[in-house]
Amino acid sequence: MESLVLSLLVALAAGFIGALLGGKAASAGHYRYAQKRDLETKSNQLLNLFQALNAELAAVWERVAATVGNDLEKAKHMDEFPYAMIFAATHNYFSVYDHSAQLLGTLDPESGKRIIETYTNLKAFLDELNNYNQLAQKHRDVRLGANLNLYEVNQVREQLEEYFRLLKKRHAQVKGQVLLCLEMLKEFLNLAEQSRTSVKIKI
């Protein structure tokens, strides 16, 4: 009788241990699967972010180059570039960037820094173009005003010339940053595409 009770206890203990180990193995499997799915989701989010940032930055820069940049590069003197096309950095030109701060934080520090610096400088450059327009308008107003003050006209003209020289330098700086950032984003997209299409061989 004792051996029967002992056998029953051993069988119950073995069943309990088996169920416990099986449950833990199933739980670990579910956890690994959830981790893999989470990693895939984050990878897809980053890939989508790179595609969207690349499209947004390329579109805005093409517009800047076509309406302002090419003329600014060619102009040797302020009179050859009387005023710029009006842009406003507060408009939704940068909606992808403005709504992706959380994902930008997951990038490696150097890449995140490059993207942030590029967008910040591009926004500032658009504001600088608007400031130039306002100064150019002020110059026209004082020059064509009823009470012509030559001293004021000359002062505003000097400010405008100085701002024009600054704008040329800033355009070259921002252009370099934008082109490097676009190159980096394209490289990310190429690497992502290669990793999707590469064949993995297990040895």
Q: What is the pLDDT of residues 87-98, one digit of tens each?
A: 655 567 899 999
Under DSSP, the state recorded for 149 is -
| CB-based contact 143:153 (threshold 8 Å) | yes
Mean pLDDT, rounded, for 38-44: 68
Cα(64)–Cα(126) distance, integer angstroms: 9
Among 113, 109, 96, which Cα is nearest to 50's?
Answer: 96
Structure tokens at 163: 């701002």
Task: Provide the pLDDT confidence category of residue 31 given band limits of 50, 70 and 90.
Answer: low
| CB-based contact 104:112 (threshold 8 Å) | yes
Among 104, 106, 67, 103, which Cα is nearest to 84's?
Answer: 67
Task: Provide the pLDDT confidence category of residue 45 given band limits of 50, 70 and 90.
Answer: confident
pLDDT at 29 > cutoff 60: no
Cα(2)–Cα(8) distance, integer angstroms: 10
Cα(12)–Cα(7) distance, integer angstroms: 8
Rounded CA Rg of the chain? 31
Express each pLDDT in 99-128 by its tens digit: 887 888 888 889 899 999 999 999 999 989
Q: Which residue has the higher pLDDT, 64 or 198?
A: 64
User: Does the pTM exceed 0.85?
Assistant: no
Which range (79-93, 109-123, 139-153, 160-174) has the least confidence?
79-93
